[in-house]
């Protein structure tokens, strides 16, 4: 179960990224401290190899509105506000089934219009971004049965957690980290390079 402190840290991140206002942050934090969201989710051992997670959805479940259905395949991760699953888009009439990643909002947040607005805002902002190192967001679905989610492209590969576990104590060497950051950044922000305008 996610602790109120972990949820507050996530809210702080959302505030820092301007996904929520200061007033919303203060209200959500007060709600958490008063316990309004504390007990809605069952205990979870976060074993993502299992077929069921704390949202009470399982592999093979079909979710989404009638015009855009998804079949859940594999849980990929879980955070303070929700879970991420790989899913097949199975809407008929759209040709080949496409693999997507769905960020599902936990039930306790799905009951709050404010959190639904936050999720919609996140989807709208990220949908406008286009960069090879940012996952593409296709939109948000307010599904039946109170399951609300963001639809994203599903990337193949290893998680950072897996890579770090495989590398052991040494972690990732700094030159590799800098190289990765340089590939992600705009040319004027690349590490170890000064712009002619900055001198």
Q: What is the pLDDT of residues 96-130, one digit of tens each?
A: 788 999 999 888 888 888 888 888 888 888 888 87
Highest-confidence segment of 12-16, 39-43, 45-49, 104-108: 104-108
Same domain, 93 and 165: no
Instruction: Answer yes or no: do 122 and 74 share one domain.
Output: yes
The secondary structure element, H or E, covering residue 152 is strand 148-153
Are residues 98 and 129 both part of a single domain?
yes
105, 165: one domain: no
Q: How far apart are CA 71 and CA 58, in angstroms?
A: 10
pLDDT at 197 over 60: no
Residue 35's pLDDT band, with cuts at 50, 70 and 90, is low
pLDDT level of residue 7 (50, 70, 90 thresholds): confident
Whether the pTM exceeds 0.75: the reply is no
CATH number of the domain enclosing 39: 3.30.200.20
Amino acid 38: pLDDT: 41
What range defines the domain where residue 171 resides? 160-198
Last residue of a domain, one of 118, 138, 153: 153
Q: In this predicted structure, what is the pLDDT of residue 74?
A: 92
The CB density around residue 6, as the number of other CB atoms within 10 Å, is: 13
Share of the chain above pLDDT 70, in %: 76
Q: Once rounded to an integer, what is the mean pLDDT over residues 60-79? A: 87
Question: Does residue 101 share a domain with residue 80?
Answer: yes
pLDDT of residue 55: 67
Q: Count Cβ atoms within 10 A of the Cβ of residue 126 and give its class: 0-12 exposed, 13-18 middle, 19 or more buried.
A: middle
Q: Are residues 31 and 124 in the same domain?
A: yes
DSSP-derived secondary structure for 106-117? PHHHHT-HHHHH
Q: Is the domain of 10 the same as that of 106?
A: yes
Q: Do 51 and 126 belong together in one domain? A: yes
How does pLDDT run across 127-170, given as a tens digit for each residue?
Answer: 888 777 788 999 888 777 778 899 999 988 887 778 888 888 77
Domain match, 149 and 180 both:
no
Same domain as 175, residue 109: no
Does residue 26 share a domain with residue 51? yes
- For residue 68, give the nearest of 42, 90, 49, 88 by alpha carbon: 90
Number of domains in the chain: 2
Q: Is residue 130 located within the same domain as residue 180?
A: no
Instruction: Report helix, strand or coil for 94.
Output: coil
């Amino acid at each position: 179960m996610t602790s109120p402190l972990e949820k507050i840290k996530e809210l702080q991140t959302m505030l820092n990224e301007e996904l929520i206002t200061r007033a919303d942050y203060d209200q959500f934090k007060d709600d958490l401290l008063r316990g309004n969201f504390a007990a809605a989710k069952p205990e979870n051992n976060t074993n993502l190899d299992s077929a069921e997670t704390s949202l009470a959805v399982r592999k093979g479940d079909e979710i989404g509105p009638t015009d855009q259905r998804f079949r859940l395949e594999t849980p990929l991760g879980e955070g303070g506000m929700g879970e991420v699953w790989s899913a097949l888009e199975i809407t008929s009439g759209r040709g080949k089934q496409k693999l997507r990643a769905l960020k599902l909002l936990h039930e306790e947040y799905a009951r709050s219009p404010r959190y639904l607005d936050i999720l919609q805002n996140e989807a709208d902002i990220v949908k406008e971004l286009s960069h090879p190192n940012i996952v593409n967001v296709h939109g948000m679905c307010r599904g039946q049965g109170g399951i609300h989610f963001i639809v994203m492209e599903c990337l193949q590969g290893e998680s950072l957690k897996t890579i770090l576990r495989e590398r052991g104590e040494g972690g990732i060497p700094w030159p590799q980290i800098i190289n990765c950051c340089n590939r992600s950044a705009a040319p004027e922000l690349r590490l170890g390079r000064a712009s002619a305008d900055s001198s």
